[in-house]
Amino acid sequence: MKIVFIAGTLTSGAPTEQPMRGEYIAGNVLKAEAYQIALANAGIGSFCAHTHTLNHHKKGSRAPEEYYYKLDMEFLKRAADAVLAMPDWDKSKGAKDEVAWAVQNKLPVFYPKFPEDIDDIVNWARQ
């Protein structure tokens, strides 16, 4: 099974005030999760940092943001066969680093506009 790493913004551009910040982040998680579900429905494995560490800060994590950037990069390096760059990925420091690493290491990078737009990924995964 091929594994697609889902890269996209989580907090970049979020308002600083609550509850708007929380709603913005929750919306980004839902968008990422929609891609993850579309891949699963197509029989393609994925890793999605948005859902992997969902609400860690609310559940007691005191790890700094840099910890999560490094953790995500390790999953990308060790497990991913390709990257799915969600719309607005280029507004995220972490996603920009992930896409750059994938390009540098010759992993395919896909840029679907919406979750149903994964035909290129499905075709690649079936090769």
CATH code (residue 112): 3.40.50.10400
Quote the CA–CA distance of 2 and 23 in Å, as a whole number: 32
Phi, psi at 100, each rounded to 5°: -60, -45
Strands (E), the chain: 3-7, 45-48, 82-85, 109-110
pLDDT for 57: 66
pLDDT of 110 > 90? The answer is: yes
Q: pLDDT-based confidence at 56, cuts 50/70/90?
A: low
Instruction: Assess whether pLDDT exceeds 90 at residue 58.
Output: no
Please state the domain count of the chain: 1
pLDDT for 43 equals 97
Domain that holds residue 54: 3-125
More confident residue, 18 or 37: 37
Q: What is the pLDDT of residues 60-107, one digit of tens each?
A: 667 787 888 899 999 999 999 999 999 999 999 999 999 999 999 999
| Distance from C-alpha of 35 to C-alpha of 84, rounded to nearest angstrom | 9
Q: Could you give the CA distance from residue 29 to residue 47 in angstroms, rounded to a whole number?
A: 13
- Residue 116's contacts (CB-CB under 8 Å, 6 or more residues apart) are 38
| Cα distance between residue 110 and residue 121, in whole Å | 7
Q: What are 34-47's pLDDT values in tens digits?
A: 999 999 999 999 99
Average of per-residue pLDDT across 8-34: 83
Q: What tokens does 122 get?
A: 């499905």
Confidence of residue 19 (pLDDT cuts 50, 70, 90): confident
How confident is the model at residue 48, as a pLDDT?
94
